Structure 1
Amino acid sequence: MSEVITKAPQIEKKAVSFHNILLGAAIQTFEVSTLGQPFEVVKTHMAANRGDSIATSLKKTYARGGIAGFYQGLIPWAWIEASTKGGVLLFTSSEIDYRARVAGFSPSWAGLFGGVGGGIAQAYTTMGFCTFMKTVEVTRHKAAGASASTWRIAYDVFQREGIRGLNRGVSAVALRQMTNWGSRFGISRVTESLFRGQDKTRKLSTAERLASSAIGGALACWNQPLEVIRVEMQSQAKAADRPANLNLFTTARYIYQKNGFLGFYRGVTPRVGLSVYLTVCMVFGGDSIKAYFGDKKAASKA
């Protein structure tokens, strides 16, 4: 009796499209240039000034420069970050996803590993120094008529501390991004499964996919303590009792001593708003634009 040998399906590497990288950069730049940066500024202010409420944070931010005060750090740092981190994530997560599937992991685990690796890559390439400079812009004191430019501040930090100084707090950024993408992926997949119910093969509607992503993005903010630690490490606000050389552990101890457990969750509300808004831009915006160009391409071939 002859034995039938079944050939295992070949694992193909996901193609990385240059057009998708440009699309991701364009959408994220749009996101941060509209409501994204105001959410970021208020979130950062509350994390650095943990005694301020949302209302107080809004008033102080407006007092710093009117509407423009809500866009501190947008140019060039937020634009640099938004236009590069999507490409870094896409390349890194795609490669790790492929290697994990070749090693025998399921697509879900492979995607999770890809997201975690992509988040770490983002932090240690462009997000570290961009996030640092955005925080500097929000938290530094600006004397009337004598404020140094953002480029001057960056140059002074580099002169004093080198690349390490510009990447202060990058380990907290890496932990945040790693847990962000891992949580978003996992929670979104669980939510999609709940929507499908018993029919695991049913295609989800646009509203269901959007809701799954938004829920994943919002609940991923459980890691807000890492964000507060990151902001404190990068903050230019002065305090007499603040330790001179902060790391993850000394910063966490300082925050707890000053503000207790709830201090680690200051700014979580605007961060949830930021996460949901980013998801809406990426899901609805991305799908709509890709569908538009797809229909246009199909029409040109007809």
Structure 2
Amino acid sequence: MASHDPLVPVEDYDYEALPPNFTLLENCLAGAFAGIMEHSVMYPVDLLKTRLQVLKPAEGGLYTGMQQAFWRIGRVEGYRSMWRGVSSVIVGAGPAHALYFATFEAVKHAMGGNNAGYHPLAQGAGGAAATVISDAFMNPFDVIKQRMQVHGSTYRGILDCTRTVYRNEGFKAFFVSYPTTLSMTVPFTGLQFAAYGSISQFINPTRQYNPTLHGLAGGLAGGFAAALTTPLDVIKTLLQTRGMSRDPELRHAKGMLAAARIIKREHGYGGFFRGLRPRVVTAVPSSAICWASYELAKNYFIRNHENDPL
């Protein structure tokens, strides 16, 4: 098969449909690359979101908004503190996203998503299945990350945080938020993947590799899904940081409903949207980076296969 310009339609297979000799390893590598890029670049904004969502933080850790939190953290703790816990994300995001995109492509293909035409159900189902698998792996790393992000955190690194949490709260502390995480990420991912497919179909109907359009579609889809699932993200943050709370009730909150009642009592219904702005600000560029990186890696492997026998 002769080489071609990536923006010119391919006659033998649609770009969105992986070629027959596209391996699981290549798919995993593409996903891992996308995950590390997404989480590491936008990490400081994610830290701001966590700080805004934590209820009754340690003295000096109460913030009124994203901009105030940014300047206060920089002045009091130094701007380097905005990267505390990033190593946990880097260690976990690669394997988690490898599982994520490998599962997505497998389920999408099984449901006919690689056939000619538009298949939003296959996109959404693939995304929902992918998040169940990847979140099981990523949840402990996310707990460690948020414990290190909160104001007053004294953990020296991810190993110190892991040992301390396990010693004080047991193994279940790393998974107490998993049901809540799934209740948020399954609809988030389903919405994001379905929206990505719909937006891509509209702005890139030829379905050929175009990094600008992939990034634009990914950013819009991510922001849309993030805004709708913010209340569940607030509950997840409370459960993942409960062991550091000064409130005894918060420290023993056992699930979604208990956490939701505490949020409602402390801040009313508006409490469920704390951190909305930094969550969307994080989701738009991080989703754009994730999708653009994934499509870049996928296109690289596809182009390498163009001269391989099918």
TM-score band, normalised by shorter chain:
0.7 to 0.9
- The match for 2:222 among 210, 217, 232 is 217
- The match for 1:82 among 72, 90, 93 is 93
CA distance in 1, matches of 2:53, 2:245: 11
- The match for 1:162 among 165, 170, 176 is 170
Distance 1:240 1:158, change over 3 A: closer
SS of match in other structure, 1:52: coil
Larger mean CA deviation between 129-138 and 274-283 belongs to 274-283
Distance 1:188 1:297, change over 3 A: closer
Q: Which amino acid aligns with 1:74?
A: V
* Partner of residue 230, structure 1: 236
- Correspondence list, 1:12-27, <5 A: 15-27=22-34
Matched residues, percent identical?
Answer: 16
- Correspondence list, 1:151-300, <5 A: 151-195=159-203, 202-203=206-207, 206=210, 207-221=212-226, 222-235=228-241, 236-239=244-247, 242=250, 244-288=252-296, 291=299
1:48 aligns with 2:54: yes
Would you say the 8 A contact 2:253–2:259 is kept in 1? no
CA distance in 1, matches of 2:135, 2:249: 29
Higher helix fraction: Structure 1 or Structure 2?
1
Residues 17-42 of structure 1 show CA distances to partners (whole Å, capped at 9, x for unaligned) of: 31332233234323333x32112111
TM-score normalised by structure 2 residue count: 0.76
Tell me which structure has the larger Cα radius of gyration.
Answer: 1
Q: What's the offset of the Cα at 1:280?
A: 2.6
Q: What's the offset of the Cα at 1:180?
A: 1.6
Would you say the 8 A contact 1:120–1:175 is kept in 2? no
Distance 1:293 1:189, change over 3 A: closer
CA distance in 1, matches of 2:79, 2:144: 20
Residues 261-300 of structure 1 show CA distances to partners (whole Å, capped at 9, x for unaligned) of: 121111122221222222332333344455567667879x
CA distance in 1, matches of 2:248, 2:166: 24
- Correspondence list, 1:35-74, <5 A: 35-49=41-55, 52-63=64-75, 65-74=77-86
* Partner of residue 7, structure 1: none
Distance 1:240 1:37, change over 3 A: same
Distance 1:223 1:142, change over 3 A: closer
TM-score normalised by structure 1 residue count: 0.78
- The match for 2:104 among 72, 83, 93 is 93
Gap regions ≥5 residues in structure 1? 1-11
Distance 1:297 1:204, change over 3 A: closer
Would you say the 8 A contact 2:218–2:292 is kept in 1? no
SS of match in other structure, 1:171: helix
Distance 1:132 1:63, change over 3 A: farther
Distance 1:159 1:203, change over 3 A: closer
SS of match in other structure, 2:45: helix
SS of match in other structure, 2:42: helix
SS of match in other structure, 1:246: coil
Distance 1:108 1:30, change over 3 A: closer
Residues 232-267 of structure 1 show CA distances to partners (whole Å, capped at 9, x for unaligned) of: 111123235536233100101110111111211111
Would you say the 8 A contact 2:146–2:237 is kept in 1? yes
SS of match in other structure, 1:242: helix
* Partner of residue 5, structure 1: none
CA distance in 2, matches of 1:234, 1:17: 32
Distance 1:56 1:239, change over 3 A: farther
Would you say the 8 A contact 1:233–1:247 is kept in 2? yes
CA distance in 2, matches of 1:117, 1:139: 31
Q: Which amino acid aligns with 1:58?
A: F
Would you say the 8 A contact 2:50–2:149 is kept in 1? yes
